[in-house]
Structure 1
């Protein structure tokens, strides 16, 4: 959860890494409609940020069945990212 907190905070900020992290989180939410996360984007991230992403991927891989950010309490954060990075209003994403 700490890794997700850091990733969502970074994705909501205005740094060079924000768009890459937002792409990762939104691809997890709905890659088909919101775009995928190119694995090579890890090369442009600070090591600590890449570590947080791999921690999330590791958690998802070990979890029995699909799990998404909303079931972990991050639905509002995803909606914020949709508005910021994909120009989708919360009513469009529901």
Structure 2
């Protein structure tokens, strides 16, 4: 990830760990990237419900992703993303933690 996209993503992660309506929307954005099939998608209309800077950070990450030749996931942020899953998708997180 380039520096601009990394900084934007890190700001988004920080917001997703908070407890606001914007945090829920940011979490949806991050989790849609991580695994939309199991964690849910992102409603593009949610851009209208976040501050301009948050929407800009989302656009920065999205733009960076669009320039990649293959799917890229922020695996170095796995622990932080798992914390977002545990916070915003507790049922999914609990199920994932069950012994196989």
Structure 1 residue 92, shift from structure 2 partner:
1.4
Moved over 4 A (4+): none
Unaligned 5+ segments in structure 1 are: none
The CA distance in 2 between the partners of 1:31 and 1:14, in whole Å, is: 21
Residue equivalent to 1:7 = 12
Q: How many residues align?
A: 90
* 2:66 aligned with 1:61: yes
Higher RCO, 1 vs 2 (CA within 8 Å, ≥6 residues apart): 2
> TM-score, length-normalised on structure 2?
0.85
Give the aligned partner of residue 23 of structure 1.
Answer: 28
Q: TM-score, normalised by structure 1?
A: 0.91
Decide which structure has the larger Cα Rg and report it.
2
Deviation at 1:40, TM superposition (A): 0.2
- Pairwise CA RMSD: 1.3
Runs of at least 5 residues in structure 2 that lack an aligned partner in the other structure = 1-5
Q: Which residue of 2 aligns with 1:92?
A: 96
